[in-house]
Amino acid sequence: MNTRTSKLNSEFRRLIAEILTKKVKDPRITEMFTVVDVDCDKELSSAKVYVSVFSTDEQRAAQTFAAIKDSEPIVRREVSRTMHIRKVPQFNFVADTSQQYGQKIDQLLNELNKK
């Protein structure tokens, strides 16, 4: 990945998180979330946006994630207004499950240590 793409990914991550928390007014977004990473292709045609939703209720977490996915046109429009780049990629929101995976590994390791 070149430095331009890396800088754009970082700026997209910061900006998307800000837009989702401050400008998107969807009542389905009830749970806390974070934009973990953005992975943009080199042509700037599409970008994967990894989002982690923190919730003990799986249904509310799924509802929050669905609302975030549905807000893609708003996010794209706001990114286009804020950043002065020729082409704004299509954002594809992806659920980031690395935290749950890490917790499961920790739990398994703790169970092994107890034995």
Between 113 and 31, whose confidence is greater? 31
CATH architecture of the domain covering 3-114: 2-Layer Sandwich (3.30)
User: In this structure, what DSSP letter does residue 71 have?
Assistant: T
d(CA 33, CA 29): 9
Question: What ranges do the domains of the chain cover?
Answer: 3-114
**Token code pair at residue 87:** 């082409």
E strand or H helix at 67, and its extent? helix 58-70
Task: Give the model's pLDDT for residue 21.
Answer: 93
For residues 77 and 35, the answer to whether their CB atoms sit within 8 Å is no
70-95: per-residue pLDDT in tens? 999 999 999 999 988 888 999 999 99
pLDDT band at 1 (very low <50, low <70, confident <90, very high): low
